[in-house]
Amino acid sequence: MEFWLFMFIMNLIAPVVMIGFGRHFSRNAPKKINSYYGYRTSMSKKNYDTWDFAHRHFGRTWYIAGWILLPLTVGTMLLFIGKSESCIGSASFLVIMAQAVLLVASIIPTEIALRKRFDKDGNKKITPDEQGEPS
C-alpha cells in the first residue's frame, strides 16, 4: 500500500503542475523575454506581443489539460490499489508517459495559434475584420 501511495502522489505531480503553471501563465507572462523561464520557442520570443500571446494561449491549454489529466490519473491509479509493486510500477510508468506526451503535445496548438496571429517576423497579421472588409 505504501508503494501505491507513493506512486499515486508522484503521478499527480504533472497534472497539478500543469494546472498551477497553466493558471499562472494564462494570467501573467514573465515580464521579460528570456531563455530560462516560461514558454520559450523561437516564435514566442520574437517580441513581447508574441511572448504574451503564447503564454496566455499555452497557459489555457495547460490548465485545461491538467484538469483533464487529474481525474484520469486518479481513476487509473485507483484501479491498481492492492496490486503487486511491479503491476503498480508498470501502470505508473504508462500514466507518466501519457502525461509526458500530453505535456509536449500541448506545444502544437500554441504554435499553430502563434502562426495564425503573427507573421514569421512576429508582426501581428491584419485580419479582414481589422481592415473593415467583410469576411
- What is the per-residue pLDDT across 17-72, written as a single tens digit (0 to 9) for each? 999 999 999 998 888 898 888 889 889 989 999 999 999 999 999 999 999 999 99
Nearest to 115 by CA among 22, 65, 42: 42
Beta strands (DSSP E) in 20-108 are none
Q: What is the pLDDT of residue 77?
A: 93
| Residue-range definition of the domain harbouring residue 42 | 2-131
- Tell me the average pLDDT of the chain: 90
Query: With 80 as the cut, is the pLDDT of residue 128 above it?
Result: no
Name the CA radius of gyration of the chain, rounded.
Answer: 19
Total number of domains constituting the chain: 1
Percent of the chain with pLDDT over 90: 70
If pLDDT is split at 50, 70 and 90, which confidence band does 133 have? low
Distance separating alpha carbons of residues 32 and 55, to the nearest angstrom? 12
Nearest to 110 by CA among 38, 43, 23: 43
Distance separating alpha carbons of residues 4 and 28, to the nearest angstrom? 36
Selected residue with higher pLDDT from 88 and 1: 88
Place of cell 502563434: 114
Lowest mean pLDDT among 2-6, 98-102, 125-129: 125-129
